[in-house]
A and B are shown apart, each in its own frame.
Chain A
Amino acid sequence: MDKFKIHKGLVALMDRSNVDTDAIIPKQFLKSIKRSGFGPNLFDEWRYLDHGEPGMDNSARSLNPDFVLNQPRYQGASILLARENFGCGSSREHAPWALLDYGFRVIIAPSYADIFFNNCFKNGILPIVLDAPRVDELFQAVAANEGYALSVDLEAQTITTPDGKSIAFEVEEFRKHCLLNGLDDIGLTLQHVDDIRAYEARRKQEAPWLF
């Protein structure tokens, strides 16, 4: 996983609440056995005018001009500003894979679904929670200013706006540590092999039917 320290990027808007992972990456693309290559099919049903299937040449498909990410001003966006309960529904990690593959490293929303939120951290995406009025202010600022970019500093836990205003955000200490250092969870857990074995030995006595 790539380390996350400071990220500066163009902000795009996703102005709907309850955006589900079926919308982020439709099921037909879940047939892939790879982790990469999902970016061209991010928000597929909203983004293209035709029906997408795996193996299609996406560059030859007609884009939906009304879809926000197809607007010229948002090309190259790497920060997604979203509404409540972003990433609800299916646990598919293909959703953060698709967002990352498209180029998003930061999401800002008032709330997320739990599994999606967790999956983001496993892939080097920083999902930031800000209160709804603050998110609303950002929506208005982005809409009013083409080229609106934010700078996100994970170490300092701040977002800096183009006019130099700083917005603080919370992040769990352990998740921050893993993201800052690009740590592999499995490697971390395997440092505690003795604890796992001790737990298993004790548990085999208490509840042998589980083994």
Chain B
Amino acid sequence: MAGKTLYDKLWDAHVVRRQEDGTCLLYIDRHLVHEVTSPQAFEGLRLAGRKPWRVEANLATPDHNVPTTPPENGGRAQGITDPVARLQVETLDNNCDEFGITEFKMDDIRQGIVHVISPEQGATLPGMTLVCGDSHTSTHGALGALAHGIGTSEVEHVLATQCLIQRKSKNMLVSIDGAVGPGVTAKDIVLAIIGEIGTAGGTGYAIEFGGEGIRDLSIEGRMTVCNMAIEGGARAGMVAADQKTIDYVKGRPYAPTEEQWEAAVAAWRELHSDDDAQFDHTVRINGADIQPQVTWGTSPEMVVPVDGCVPDPAQQNDAVKADGMRAALAYMGLEANTPINTISIDKAFIGSCTNSRIEDLRAAAVVAKGRKVADNVKLAMVVPGSGLVKAQAEKEGLDKIFIEAGFEWREPGCSMCLAMNADKLEPGERCASTSNRNFEGRQGQGGRTHLVSPAMAAAAAVAGHFVDVRSF
């Protein structure tokens, strides 16, 4: 019999019950909750007279709607001015208080983007199943966990039963063979992967990211890669646990301690695919071929290296795809064959669950240090992923580097990744963004998003246009 993949191992360890048709009841170890996708689930519980099955398995924080304006400009101490958004955050607070769920509220230093705070607290552990009503839950797979996004009906289902009704996905391996070059980051790797497999390439699969290019990444870098598994169509992305994973988890507030630590580490050392494991599909990319990436269109698969040009629909043989490219070019206000490094920007956004961790901010600060945001850039903002990331950055003086360079230094939250709060693009504005989606209207109606790494976003802010950070 063939060996097991990492996904097989995680899946098998969590099957409570299997029906004849293959539908399983899968046990969920950790459930993360935020304000946008939970109110209807809590209401459902109340209407049915149900209670959370295991209240301590849940961890909540508001992130999508919170203001990120700095304290000197009023900030969040004044509360949320939008009454609809305020009600949603208050509803989360009330639901967590009523049901006894731990919540890092808006004024707690541990508050932040749900996918940043959970690993930071050690609430995401290797070997876990973890879900959240948010598609970027795939992030947590970076620690050797099975993690994916769910809808609100399933949020209610997990609250009520600690389980999900699931069918197993197929196994896909994406291997980055060999090391990537200097100046090429986790974001460039995952954008290159999506460019290769397409936004639906991973549909129906759980993706394991492997190979030297992935193993070389820090845990934070692996989170960036797994975060965007969903942009390649896969609900779950994951990376085998290794010594880096164990070192990352050690000592965090929710991590196991003392005698449980040794037992946990022994179990975590098994969290990798067996040598003879079979994958349904394997994609191999040569690490050395990956260049810093910039998206040009309205889907993350519409991506090219920074030294490339905007592609030409006339060269595309598939008529539906060519139409999609034309629509994207029209929306983005771009001409085919334009060199990427001549495209100027209006705004830069460094943040989001993809790229708002301390290493991301350090990488951006290296570029920003001693430089100034270009005159044509109306706003360059840095939004840390959590209160603790912000505090760490300030301890290292990164806030001063950014402020001196002309960036705004903000409070933690999802911010302009999806523009549910006040941070958004105006129609026609072009943004270098470290977020994960360049969909039409995602960062504000009519806004034009180009996805890049933190260093590339900082470089674009300083140059006023896209530029290869390696030659900067």
**Within the assembled complex, what's the spacing in Å between the Cα atoms of A83 and B299?**
15
Interface 1/0 per residue, B378-420 and A, CB below 8 Å: 0000000000000000000000000000000000000000111
Stretch at the interface among B104-112, B152-160, B458-466: B152-160
User: Restricting to A68-94, which residues have a CB under 8 Å from any CB of B?
Assistant: 83-85, 88-93
Interface 1/0 per residue, A18-34 and B, CB below 8 Å: 10101100111011111
A186 touching B84, Cβ below 8 Å: no
**Within the assembled complex, what's the spacing in Å between the Cα atoms of A51 and B23?**
43
Nearest CB of chain B from residue A61's CB, rounded to whole Å? 14
Nearest CB of chain B from residue A197's CB, rounded to whole Å? 10
B153 touching A119, Cβ below 8 Å: yes
**Residues of chain B within 8 A of A196, CB atoms compared:** 16, 25, 27, 53, 161-163
B248 contacts the other chain (CB 8 A): no
B165 contacts the other chain (CB 8 A): yes
**Within the assembled complex, what's the spacing in Å between the Cα atoms of A17 and B263?**
48
A174 touching B151, Cβ below 8 Å: no
Nearest CB of chain A from residue B153's CB, rounded to whole Å? 4
Most chain B CB within a 10 A radius of its CB, from A26, A28, A91: A91
B16 touching A199, Cβ below 8 Å: yes
User: Restricting to A192-211, which residues have a CB under 8 Å from any CB of B?
Assistant: 192, 195-196, 199-200, 203, 207-210
**Residues of chain A within 8 A of B65, CB atoms compared:** 31
A89 touching B27, Cβ below 8 Å: no
Q: Which residue of A lies closest to B165 (CB)?
A: A185
Nearest CB of chain B from residue A94's CB, rounded to whole Å? 8
User: Restricting to B128-153, which residues have a CB under 8 Å from any CB of A?
Assistant: 128, 133-135, 137, 148-153
Give the total of B residues in contact with A, Cβ under 8 Å: 77
Q: Which residue of A lies closest to B149 (CB)?
A: A91
A111 contacts the other chain (CB 8 A): yes
**Residues of chain A within 8 A of B167, CB atoms compared:** 172
A111 touching B320, Cβ below 8 Å: no
Nearest CB of chain A from residue B170's CB, rounded to whole Å? 11
A190 contacts the other chain (CB 8 A): yes
Stretch at the interface among B71-79, B177-185, B349-357, B434-442: B434-442
Q: Which residue of B lies closest to A20 (CB)?
A: B439
B91 touching A33, Cβ below 8 Å: yes
**Residues of chain A within 8 A of B419, CB atoms compared:** 27
Q: Which residue of A lies closest to B36 (CB)?
A: A30
**Within the assembled complex, what's the spacing in Å between the Cα atoms of A92 and B132?**
11
A122 contacts the other chain (CB 8 A): yes
Residues A190 and B29 in contact in the complex (CB < 8 Å), given A85-B199, A115-B135: no
User: Restricting to B434-472, which residues have a CB under 8 Å from any CB of A?
Assistant: 437, 439-442, 445
A145 contacts the other chain (CB 8 A): no
**Within the assembled complex, what's the spacing in Å between the Cα atoms of A172 and B166?**
12
B151 touching A189, Cβ below 8 Å: no
Residues A111 and B161 in contact in the complex (CB < 8 Å), given A30-B36, A173-B21: no
**Residues of chain A within 8 A of B235, CB atoms compared:** 114-115
Inter-chain contact count A-B, CB under 8 Å?
181
**Within the assembled complex, what's the spacing in Å between the Cα atoms of A114 and B236?**
10
Nearest CB of chain B from residue A74's CB, rounded to whole Å? 20
Q: Which residue of A lies closest to B255 (CB)?
A: A209
B165 touching A207, Cβ below 8 Å: no
**Within the assembled complex, what's the spacing in Å between the Cα atoms of A33 and B89?**
10
**Residues of chain A within 8 A of B323, CB atoms compared:** 16
Nearest CB of chain B from residue A1's CB, rounded to whole Å? 9
User: Restricting to B15-67, which residues have a CB under 8 Å from any CB of A?
Assistant: 16-17, 19, 21, 23, 25, 27, 29, 36-37, 39-40, 43, 48, 50, 53-54, 64-65
User: Restricting to B294-345, which residues have a CB under 8 Å from any CB of A?
Assistant: 299, 320-321, 323-324, 327
**Within the assembled complex, what's the spacing in Å between the Cα atoms of A185 and B50?**
14
B85 touching A114, Cβ below 8 Å: no
A203 touching B27, Cβ below 8 Å: yes
B16 touching A192, Cβ below 8 Å: yes
A54 contacts the other chain (CB 8 A): yes
A93 touching B25, Cβ below 8 Å: no
B40 touching A33, Cβ below 8 Å: yes
**Within the assembled complex, what's the spacing in Å between the Cα atoms of A123 and B154?**
11
**Residues of chain A within 8 A of B153, CB atoms compared:** 93, 119, 122-123, 185
**Residues of chain B within 8 A of A118, CB atoms compared:** 150-151, 154
**Residues of chain B within 8 A of A122, CB atoms compared:** 151, 153-154
B439 touching A23, Cβ below 8 Å: yes
Nearest CB of chain A from residue B115's CB, rounded to whole Å? 13
B277 contacts the other chain (CB 8 A): no
A63 contacts the other chain (CB 8 A): no
A113 touching B200, Cβ below 8 Å: yes
Q: Which residue of B lies closest to A132 (CB)?
A: B320
B420 touching A172, Cβ below 8 Å: no
Residues A190 and B160 in contact in the complex (CB < 8 Å), given A17-B324, A209-B125: yes
A and B contact pairs by CB, cutoff 8 A, 19 listed:
A32-B88, A45-B440, A51-B445, A85-B199, A89-B230, A89-B437, A91-B149, A93-B40, A93-B152, A112-B203, A113-B200, A115-B151, A118-B151, A173-B21, A185-B165, A189-B157, A189-B163, A200-B54, A203-B27
Ranked 6 nearest A-B pairs via Cβ = A209-B256, A93-B151, A33-B39, A122-B153, A119-B151, A91-B149
